[in-house]
Amino acid sequence: MKQLCKAPIAAIVMAAGIACSQTVKAKQEVKPYTIQNDVLGESLTDFQKNQTCILLPAEVDTLEREQTCIADNAHYAGMSVLAKGGTFYQGRLYRVSILATTEQCKKSDLLSMLKEKYGEPKLTETVNGHEITPAVLEGGPPFKIWQNGVATIMFVESFGTLDACNTSFELDEVSSRVAKLKEDEKRKKEEARKKDM
């Protein structure tokens, strides 16, 4: 009788183990987004191999280990863009931002291409387990958002009356870490300024 009870339990445990290993395997297969020949997480050297870019000098309010490289004469999805910038933290690409005119984005139907490649977007973003709706300029369209658990893509076809369309790709974990570090640095500077009064 005891043997009969153990058999179903063993089968349940084995099935649960298989399901867990498949879930872990599926999570391991999620990779950062690729932008043309660039992959989020690659080195500054690799980014520079894929395009000519100008490394900007660090700004006063920028993290010491953060760098931005603006691509020269960039294209994306078959259109000329106003700017394509790669932002690096500790030498690794964690954000790519592509700016074009609204007219160019509409003409090349960039939104449809993004949907075709990444699926239907959401209007909300999951940040640290919380669902939020990113703020938009008054009268501007909402952001279209794609997330795969590792990275986030945000697309907006115009910023209110500005003739600007933006598509950004970010590594979630690094982006959150950098935002927190910047907030901490800002707070420390504010506290130092108050003490100096």
Cβ atoms within 10 Å, residue 104: 19
Cβ atoms within 10 Å, residue 48: 14
What SS3 state is found at 162? strand
Q: What does the alpha-carbon distance between residue 162 and residue 153 come to, in Å, rounded to a whole number?
A: 21
Q: What's the pLDDT at 163? A: 84
Q: Specify the pTM.
A: 0.77
Domain boundaries, the chain: 1-30, 34-195
**38 Cβ neighbours under 8 A, 6+ residues apart:** 46, 47, 50, 86, 93, 96
Q: What's the pLDDT at 25? A: 47
pLDDT digits (tens, 9 = 90+) for 19-42: 444 444 444 578 888 898 999 999
- What is the mean predicted confidence (pLDDT) over 143-169? 91
pLDDT digits (tens, 9 = 90+) for 105-142: 999 999 999 999 999 999 888 887 878 888 776 767 88
Q: What's the pLDDT at 158? A: 86
Are the C-beta atoms of 138 and 125 separated by less than 8 Å? no
More confident position, 182 or 59: 182
Residue 123 main-chain phi, psi, to 5 deg: -105, -5
What percentage of the chain exceeds 70 in pLDDT?
81
